Amino acid sequence: MVNFSEAQEKLKKYREDNERKSKEVLELWDSSVKHKINQLGNDRYLVLEQVLIAACDCNRIDVAKACLQMLLNKFPDSLRVRRLAITILEAEEKYDEALESLDKLIKADETNAQTRRHKVAILKAKCQISEAIKELVEYLKKFMVDQEGWQELSNLYLLEGEYAKSAYCMEEMILHNSQNHLYHQRNADIRYTQGGAENLELARAHYSYAILLNPNNVRALYGLYLTARSLMSSQKNNQTKKNTFKKIATLSLKRVEHIYSEKRQLNKKDQLFELETLMGWLHLSLN
């Protein structure tokens, strides 16, 4: 059993490292913290919030509501505490009540990004994808530099089969961070899925740049191989271009094979090291 001081330090470390660890948090709460919460001083409110979120994750609604009540006693008019109450409604799958409460919070403070993002998450949980898209578009009109928002909008458009709009969102993300190879790879994936000569050329360009940024990006390498093969079969390209695409496809595939070959060799070395270690232990035990 963990003593009170150790539990306090562990909870603090989880918060500082931005780790939820919901199961561990609840175990510490039940075993050490619950009956000594007032001994934490002002940190008790941070712990109550931490435990409330963990309880929602683990479907311990009774614990979450007990923490919420203690927070409401101290901060009855806090928007942050009201958002936590909505989190409990969400955990109980009372989505309509949660959305109604969120709309009230948005009217009270339209500049609160977290509240708007929470509403998008609930709409998505209800499988109301088109409504989630509308809400997220309105959100991004006010918070245009939110890269996670653009990424989520891209994913939502993919669910609806809106590939052109999804690719536009990825281009916005590339504008924010052009050196992220995963953004270029994702944009290329979408362009390749769209098909057509123009989109395939864009896919080739973005796959190539992703490989330039990270030569070990196997997905981008294989995507470049598939794109080059598709361009080879296009009737719009002359023989010179087709030969170029053939070279690109060949080089990409060779690079993929080389990476997997190196990986297999490393695995063999690791297995050999483990075997030698086991043999050493066996030799010591026999002696």
Backbone angle region of 201, left / alpha / beta, with phi > 0 → left and psi within -120 to 50 → alpha: alpha
**Are 65 and 181 in a shared domain?**
no
Q: Which of 235, 219, 230, 159 is nearest to 183 (CA)?
A: 219
Residue 98 contacts residue 89 (beta carbons within 8 Å) = yes
Residue 174 belongs to some domain of the structure: yes
**Are 169 and 261 in a shared domain?**
yes
Residue 87 contacts residue 52 (beta carbons within 8 Å) = yes
Burial of 134-144, coded b for 16+ CB within 10 Å and e otherwise, reads ebbeebbeeee
Q: Is 256 helix (H, G, I), strand (E, B) or coil?
A: helix
Report the C-alpha gap between 164 and 182 in whole angstroms.
Answer: 18
**Are 156 and 251 in a shared domain?**
yes
Give me the domain span that covers residue 68.
1-26+46-74
pLDDT at 61: 93
Q: How many helices (H) does the chain have, and how many strands (E)?
A: 14, 0
**Token duo for residue 235:** 């009737």
Residue 194 belongs to some domain of the structure: yes
pLDDT at 54: 93
Residue 120 belongs to some domain of the structure: no
Residue 274 belongs to some domain of the structure: no
pLDDT at 97: 92
Residue 281 belongs to some domain of the structure: no
How many domains would you assign to the chain? Answer: 2
Residue 59 belongs to some domain of the structure: yes
**Token duo for residue 280:** 């050493």
Residue 133 belongs to some domain of the structure: no
Residue 155 DSSP symbol? H
Q: Which of 222, 226, 149, 220 is nearest to 183 (CA)?
A: 220
**Are 148 and 57 in a shared domain?**
no
CATH number of the domain residue 201 falls in:
1.25.40.10
Per-residue pLDDT 10s for the chain (287 aa) are: 678 888 888 988 999 998 888 999 999 898 888 888 888 888 889 999 999 999 999 999 999 999 999 999 999 888 889 999 999 999 998 999 999 999 998 888 888 888 899 999 999 988 999 999 999 999 999 899 899 999 999 999 999 999 999 999 999 999 999 999 999 999 999 999 998 889 999 999 999 999 999 999 999 999 999 999 999 887 777 888 888 989 999 999 889 888 888 777 766 656 555 545 544 544 444 44
The distance of Cα 180 from the centroid of its chain, to the nearest Å, equals 15
**Are 257 and 165 in a shared domain?**
yes
pLDDT at 282: 45
CB count in 10 Å sphere of residue 198: 10
What is the DSSP secondary-structure string of 200-223? Answer: HHHHHHHHHHHHHH-TT-HHHHHH
pTM, two decimals, is 0.79
| One-letter amino acid of 38 | N
**Are 63 and 166 in a shared domain?**
no
Report the C-alpha gap between 68 and 96 in whole angstroms.
Answer: 20
Residue 252 belongs to some domain of the structure: yes
**Are 159 and 54 in a shared domain?**
no
